[in-house]
Structure 1
Amino acid sequence: MKKILFAFALSCIGFISTNAQSLYNSNSYFGSSSSTSISSTNSSVRYQQGYTRKDGTYVNGHMKTRSNNTNHDNFSTIGNSNPYTGSTGSVAKDYSVGAYNYGSGKTIHTGSRGGQYYINGNGNKTYVPKRRTRY
């Protein structure tokens, strides 16, 4: 019964967010003469199950945008906000000037699927916003 209620609640959230997103992006809401540029988040979202990290920290389940090879439309990117939590993004956009502040002084590696990262002090990969490689 709990699973059915949970599935129903998620579908309601999806329906509400889809309608809110379409209202937010429609010209009639802002007026057809509006010329302001509005940052938009990815409308394709999914539920991430809660999980336990290697260090024992539990991460609660949450809604997140589906992967699409860019961070420009993610909830966590500067200029965007998460409609589920109300938090604003703080991560620099891929290929922006701000992306060069991440991993300063570290060697940046590019993974097989295009993600860029450096090896932190614990020996783990720390992913950074993508930046152009310098030759």
Structure 2
Amino acid sequence: MRSVALFAAALCGLVFSSTAEARGGGHDGGHGGHHGHARSHRSYSHDHYVRPHVTKRGTYVHGHMQTNPNKTRNDNYSTKGNVNPYTGQAGTKPRDGEAPH
């Protein structure tokens, strides 16, 4: 019985430590930086947090996760064949070399 209680305590520690995880991002166009909010999603090394902000046109953009910039859009969450691990939404935008529909 004692081993079951120890296992349960260890499991709770793992669950709570992973949900309170926060990591910093780079400084890419002002969109990176540190964010300290708790989130229950796994951190991926190829993404970063974009802070809430207002665009030059006055549109408010909520804070969100975004893939790091590179020379392809095929690994973006919004690209066809990909699924956003934070929202579960399937990508709809064309892949590199694919004509928009």
Same-fold call, TM > 0.5? Answer: yes
Gaps (5+ residues) in structure 1? 19-42, 102-135
Q: In the alignment, what sits opposite 1:71?
A: 73
Q: TM-score, normalising length from structure 2?
A: 0.57
Q: State the Cα deviation string for residues 97-119 of structure 1 (Å, max 9, x = none).
A: x24x5xxxxxxxxxxxxxxxxxx
**Structure 1 or 2: larger helix share?**
1
Q: In the alignment, what sits opposite 2:61?
A: 59
**Deviating runs (4+, > 6 A) in structure 1?**
none
CA distance in 2 between partners of 1:87 and 1:8 (Å): 22
Q: 2:93 aligns with which of 85, 91, 94?
A: 91
Shift of 1:55: 2.4
Q: In the alignment, what sits opposite 2:7?
A: none
CA distance in 2 between partners of 1:85 and 1:49 (Å): 17
Number of aligned positions between the proteins = 68
CA distance in 2 between partners of 1:81 and 1:68 (Å): 18
Q: TM-score, normalising length from structure 1?
A: 0.44
CA distance in 2 between partners of 1:81 and 1:95 (Å): 19
Shift of 1:47: 0.1
Q: What root-mean-square deviation, in Å, do the aligned CA atoms of Structure 1 and Structure 2 show?
A: 2.3
Gaps (5+ residues) in structure 2? 1-21, 23-34
Q: In the alignment, what sits opposite 1:116?
A: none
Q: What secondary structure, in the 3-state scheme, does the structure 2 residue paired with 1:9 have?
A: coil
